Amino acid sequence: MFKGFTPQTSNFFWELAFNNERPWFLEHKEEFERVLNTPFKALAEDTAELMARRFPDRSFRLHVSRIYRDARRLFGRGPYKDHMWFSLKDNGILLEGPCFWFEVGAADYSYGMGFYSATAAQMAAFRRKVAANPARFERLAKAASRTGFSVTGEEYARPKGKISPLIDQWYNRKRLGLEISRDFGGDILSPELPELLADSFEKLLPMYDFFMEIYREEPGSRRS
């Protein structure tokens, strides 16, 4: 059961940033498990359980990141990540599909829903769907704007088109998501964080379902 992170969680990330090497990490492995890995896994599992209870007709697959970087992709960086994250995806999605997510690092934490690994074909399908019924997407975008989440994702240098001021901030991005970002502290120290995340993800379900329609039209990589 998640009992809240502590200031030591942030401290561990900061110390790791300045000591990103195997001997230091092994010396502090017990601290990693106690202040970061164990509570992080509990948060992920509690949030997934809440979502499963609230939406028994849906199938969410939990993926929890590891602190270890892929040794083949270090590119001069240390062997450990400076953040951890988990995601909840439809059970049929392998890679490029909508997901809910949470991430924590030394200075801040964030959470939301997005289509961050979307392919160019999937984003083209998104634009076609929006252009075919802009009134529907305008309603979804207005509802999303009332949740407190911000639209995120890299924008095209050359806009793909103009529909309306509200829609254009979605329409002209290479990737799409809704995100809340906070400085480390506050809710992240509370045992109620799983409830907060489940409540927030529930507010984003209408847009998530819209993204899932796109995924079904343009699935990208499926699980075998």
For 159-216, the pLDDT digits (tens) are 888 899 999 999 999 989 999 999 999 999 999 999 999 999 999 999 999 999 999 8
* pLDDT confidence of residue 93: 78
CA 39, CA 114: separation in Å to the nearest integer? 24
Span 106-133, average pLDDT:
92
Is the pLDDT confidence value at 147 over 90? yes
pLDDT of residue 76: 59
Angle at 92 between CA 88 and CA 98, to 5 degrees: 45
For the segment 14-71, what is each residue's pLDDT rounded down to a tens digit? 999 999 999 999 999 999 999 999 999 999 999 999 999 999 999 999 999 999 876 5
pLDDT, residue 224, reads 33
Phi, psi values for residue 27, rounded to 5° = -70, -25
Residue 97 has pLDDT above 90, yes or no: no
Q: Is the pLDDT of residue 222 over 70?
A: no
Contact 115, 98 (CB under 8 A): yes
Q: What is the pTM of this model?
A: 0.92
Q: Evaluate whether 174 touches 154 at the Cβ level (below 8 Å).
A: yes
Higher-confidence position of 105 and 220: 105
The pLDDT value given to residue 79:
87
| H or E element in which residue 59 lies | none
Distant-in-sequence, close-in-space partners of 76: CB < 8 Å, separation ≥ 6: none
Q: How far apart are CA 171 and CA 175, in angstroms?
A: 10
At 42 the pLDDT is 98
Close Cβ partners of 11 (under 8 Å, ≥ 6 residues apart): 35
* Chain centroid, CA 150 distance in Å: 13
Q: To 5 degrees, how large is the angle CA 119–CA 132–CA 168?
A: 65
Separation of alpha carbons 94 and 97, rounded Å? 8
Look at residue 114 and tell me whether its pLDDT is greater than 70.
yes
CA 181 to chain centroid: 11
Residue 223 — pLDDT band, cuts 50, 70, 90?
A: very low
